[in-house]
Amino acid sequence: MDSKIINGNSIEEMKKLEDGCVNLIFADPPYWMRVEGVLQRVEGTDFDGCMDEWDQFESLKDYEAFTKEWLSECYRVLKPDGSIWVIGGMQCIYTIGAIMQDIGFWLINDIVWHKKNPTPNFKGTRLNNSHETLIWATKSKKSKFTFHYKTAKELNRDNVDDEAFADGTRKQMGSVWKIAVCSGNERLKDDNGEKLHTTQKPEELLYRIIAISSNIGDMVMDPFGGTMTTGAIAKRLGRKYLMIEREKRYYEYGKKRIDGEAFEDSDIAHAVFDKKPLKVSVPDMIRDGFFVENEYFYLKDGTRGGKLQSDGKLLYKGKRVDMHSLAANIKGVKARRLNGFLNWYVKRDSELVSIEDIREAYRKQKEQQIHE
Ligand SMILES: C[S@@+](CC[C@H](N)C(=O)[O-])C[C@H]1O[C@@H](n2cnc3c(N)ncnc32)[C@H](O)[C@@H]1O
């Protein structure tokens, strides 16, 4: 299936899709905010909260029925190893979470999006509501869903400041994300320069989600497209997108937004941090001239170890031993094995060269050959 932007009702549109055709779903449904009257800022001006027609429901029963219907379609169209993210506020997230579990979704994480710049509680009558919740789930407990753990570390700035990050500090991404609400140039305006949509989500939020839980070329679906933030970021990250939005106005502005996006080729997009290194063996490296049979392996201080054999073992004091055990033995450490690649060197032009560096050079050559 190719990327598509549809102007229509998501439940009806999803019904037209085949089973298991999308890899990732991000859904930002109506929250049924139940805002009454016009909210006013302290200085007396009106605050434009979400009182849109698309966010109105008659009763909790109605909202539950709607939620059940669209989530059931999401369940059907999601691939067995895909995953879904649903965002909601306190008004709806408990209803959504319960229905997701009824349908059969398996919850992996709930994430708090901690807004760096939340809307104040103008009247000071209760706590300032400064977060929204995301539920991340799979189709079943057994799903082998995509999660780029190391890429997430590269994107995590929640508990790593700029200085530490520049010095190479990386920490596990947690379940509290500190991201500013969408504002400034990122906020879509209509032809009169007015804010187009009341609930446009920040690009940084979608960037994290799509980068860590999908792959280049995957199909990302959003049944409540709005300003098409999901489609724009999916395209930027080299994913395909299927966007559905009922309101013509949002559909048209959103379509223009996606048309203006381009793929940004990056290590994050490719999740290179999570790529497993190519498997190579010492006998292969001997065959391809990266090592020489019967050459000596040395420790960093120049201590001579064993002589390299054609099967990758080292001949030492008349015995054939593996390089990892021999490194531990000669270094006299308690461990029975050390990583030989990090301990052994060979001589090239009378200089000691790490065999790990040689293995890396070999991998690079092999990868190049694979891509040619
Ligand atoms: C919370 S907003 C999504 C905002 C979006 N994430 C963004 O960043 O702009 C929900 C959107 O869903 C649309 N919507 C509501 N019910 C729908 C339905 N049944 N089918 C398709 N779209 C619907 C609304 O028009 C609204 O634009």
DSSP character string of 147-188: --HHHHHHH--SS--HHHHHTT------SEEEEPPS-GGGS-
Q: What is the pTM of this model?
A: 0.83
* Separation between Cα atoms, residue 243 and residue 124, nearest integer Å: 38
Ligand 1 centre distance from Cα of residue 75 (Å): 18
Q: Is 244 in the pocket of ligand 1 (CB under 6 A)?
A: yes
Q: Does an H or E element contain 300, and which?
A: none
Cα angle for residues 156, 158, 163 (degrees, 5° grid): 80
Average pLDDT over residues 53-73: 93
Q: Is 66 in the pocket of ligand 1 (CB under 6 A)?
A: no
Q: How far apart are CA 198 and CA 165, in angstroms?
A: 34
Question: Residue 111: which of 132, 82, 127, 130 has the closest Cα?
Answer: 132
pLDDT band at 177 (very low <50, low <70, confident <90, very high): very high
Q: What is the pLDDT of residues 275-305, one digit of tens each?
A: 988 999 999 999 999 999 999 999 999 999 9
Average pLDDT, the chain: 94
Q: What is the pLDDT of residues 199-250, one digit of tens each?
A: 999 999 999 999 999 999 999 999 999 999 999 999 999 999 999 999 999 9
Q: Terminal CA-to-CA distance of the chain, rounded, Å?
A: 28
CA of 227, closest atom in ligand 1: 9
Measured by CA distance, the residue closest to atom 12 of ligand 1 is: 224
Segment 77-108, tens digit of pLDDT: 999 999 999 999 999 999 999 999 999 999 99
Q: Ligand 1 mean position to 53 CA, how many Å?
A: 11
Q: Percent helix, strand and coil across the chain, each rounded to 5? A: 35, 20, 45
Measure 132 CA to ligand 1 centroid, in angstroms: 16
Per-residue model confidence (pLDDT) at position 52: 81
Tell which CATH classification among 3.40.50.1100, 3.10.105.10, 3.40.50.150, 3.40.50.920 matches the domain 4-274. Answer: 3.40.50.150
Cβ 214 under 6 angstroms from ligand 1 = no
Cα(32)–Cα(89) distance, integer angstroms: 9
Q: Are 39 and 50 in contact (CB under 8 A)?
A: no
DSSP E strands, the chain: 4-7, 22-27, 39-40, 46-47, 78-88, 106-115, 131-138, 176-179, 219-222, 240-245, 296-298, 304-308, 314-316, 319-321, 345-348, 351-354
Least confident of 73-77, 105-109, 123-127: 123-127
Cα(200) to centroid of ligand 1, in Å? 10
Q: What is the pLDDT of residues 6-59, one digit of tens each?
A: 999 999 999 999 999 999 999 999 988 887 655 555 555 555 555 788 888 888
For ligand 1, say whether the CB of 67 is within 6 Å of any of its atoms.
no
